[in-house]
Amino acid sequence: MAKKRSFEEALVRLEEIVLILEQGDTPLEEAIEVFDEGMQLASQCARQLEDAERKLKKLVKSESGFQLELLGTDAEEF
């Protein structure tokens, strides 16, 4: 199993993997291993983004009921 990387480290490694595979001169077995690593990293990044989004949401009561709102949206208006 691949080691757990930070989001930024995973993105850097994904960029490296794309370059390796785009070159087209990697032996098939190695290309498959690198591709598999890339898929695992992409899944890890997606999970980390989903977790971050979940942490940034809050439940807000409005006239029509409750709704989810992203935290920090007011800061973007400045």
Residue holding tokens 């997606």?
Answer: 46
Q: Per-residue pLDDT for the chain (78 aa), expressed as one digit of tens each?
A: 456 889 999 999 999 999 999 999 999 999 999 999 999 999 999 999 998 888 777 766 677 777 777 676 554 443
Exposure on the CB side of residue 30, measured as CA atoms within 13 A: 8
* Position 2 in a domain: no
* Position 1 in a domain: no
Range of the domain at 29: 7-77
Q: How many domains are there within the chain?
A: 1
* Position 40 in a domain: yes
* Position 63 in a domain: yes
Q: Is the pTM of this model over 0.85?
A: no
* Position 48 in a domain: yes
pLDDT score at 55:
78
Kind and range of the H or E element at 45? Answer: helix 28-55
* Position 65 in a domain: yes
* Position 51 in a domain: yes
